[in-house]
Amino acid sequence: MILPPGPAARDGDGPGAVAARLTGRAVTGLRTLSGSLAEAVLDDGRVVVVKRTTDAEAARAEAAGLRWLAGAGTVRVPAVHGHHEGWLVLDRVTRGRPSREAAVGFGRDLAGLHAAGAPAFGAPPPGGPVEAYIGAAPMRNVTGDDWPGWYAGHRVLPYLRRAVDAGAVRPAEARLVERVCERLEELSGPAEPPARLHGDLWNGNVLWGADGGVRLIDPAAHGGHRETDLAMLALFGCPHGEAVLDGYREVAPLADGWETRVGVHQLFPLLVHAVLFGRGYAERALAVARAAAAG
């Protein structure tokens, strides 16, 4: 069945109708990729991805984040066709193989993204909600001018409390992370201005295109410390990770001692994972907290 373009799609419609509405094109084919993703073929031959998010605010946050990243004019993201009631429609990225050349270019572009800046630590993208998400976990974009205090109060400690409540972190263990937060002023290195972050920069959100370029998807975009994106990228590994760093440092050298601060910046995503997935990630968070406290 060919689904016509225009305003026919409504809240209860499926991905084909949503794609037709948000692109203004008829949909000639539809393929389900997962429970939340589908590909729609448009009548002009283009293929778009239709994503079902947690709720309308999650779709709004993701669309705003992608547009904010694109607005820096450095990193590439799939074009956003629109969002509606928890649905999001994006251009499909034709996948290719990772290469060192693409990784170096990505590193340079990531440095440019960070340099584009943000109004404050925790600032949401223009048009994005305060109540946003990182993956499936709620994330509040509350602003602050001081990174150590903001990072402790609005990134690490809220997820530590949730992890304790969920039973992933024992109350006695939580004190170790709290001590790291108390020392963030001395552990965080030289002060830096707010960077424009992707915010959830693990390898699964880095798409290596068939054209040799890299696209970023699924941001939890906000103003933050640039080392947080780099620490997230290292957390689960990235193809040609050293080449990414080489390209990054060509454009924007990192402050002395950045290697020793990687664990501090990984506390936030590890605690998010502990909340979502349990004790294994909590143990990793406690290990990096222990190493940071000993430093």
Tell me, what's the pLDDT at 154? 97
Q: What is the mean pLDDT of the chain?
A: 93
Q: Which of 74, 91, 108 is the last residue of a domain?
A: 91
**Is the model's pLDDT at 188 over the cut of 90?**
yes
Do 161 and 248 lie in a common domain?
yes
For position 253, which CATH number holds? 3.90.1200.10
Q: Which is the catalytic residue, given 13, 145, 200, 229?
A: 200
Q: What is the pLDDT of residues 143-154, one digit of tens each?
A: 999 999 999 999
Tell me, what's the pLDDT at 35? 86
Instruction: Check: pTM over 0.85? Answer yes or no.
Output: yes
Asked if residue 2 is part of any domain, the answer here is no
Do 154 and 240 lie in a common domain?
yes
Contact 231, 265 (CB under 8 A): yes
Do 186 and 228 lie in a common domain?
yes
Q: Which of 91, 115, 131 is the last residue of a domain?
A: 91
Q: What is the pLDDT of residues 16-75, one digit of tens each?
A: 999 999 999 999 999 999 889 999 999 999 999 999 998 999 999 999 999 999 999 999
Tell me, what's the pLDDT at 64? 97
The tokens describing 166, both together, are 């969920």
Residues 6+ positions from 30 with CB-CB distance below 8 Å: 15, 16, 19, 38, 39, 40, 41
Tell me, what's the pLDDT at 5? 43
Asked if residue 4 is part of any domain, the answer here is no
Tell me, what's the pLDDT at 2? 39
Tell me, what's the pLDDT at 108? 98
| Size of the chain, expressed as the number of residues it contains | 295
User: What residues make up the domain containing 184?
Assistant: 100-294
Give the DSSP per-residue string, 188-232.
S-S--PPEEE-S---GGGEEEBTTS-EEE-S---EEE-HHHHHHH
Asked if residue 6 is part of any domain, the answer here is no
Q: What is the pLDDT of residues 220-276, one digit of tens each?
A: 999 999 999 999 999 999 999 999 999 999 999 999 999 999 999 999 999 999 999
**Is the model's pLDDT at 113 over the cut of 70?**
yes
- Nearest CA among 14, 17, 40 for reference residue 5: 17
Average pLDDT for 161-165 = 97
Contact 240, 206 (CB under 8 A): no
Question: For the CA atoms of 237, 150, 109, 64, what is the dihedral angle to 10 degrees?
Answer: 100
For position 33, which CATH number holds? 3.30.200.20
Do 50 and 168 lie in a common domain?
no
How many distinct structural domains can be found in the chain? 2
User: Is 200 noted as a catalytic residue in this protein?
Assistant: yes
Tell me, what's the pLDDT at 39? 96
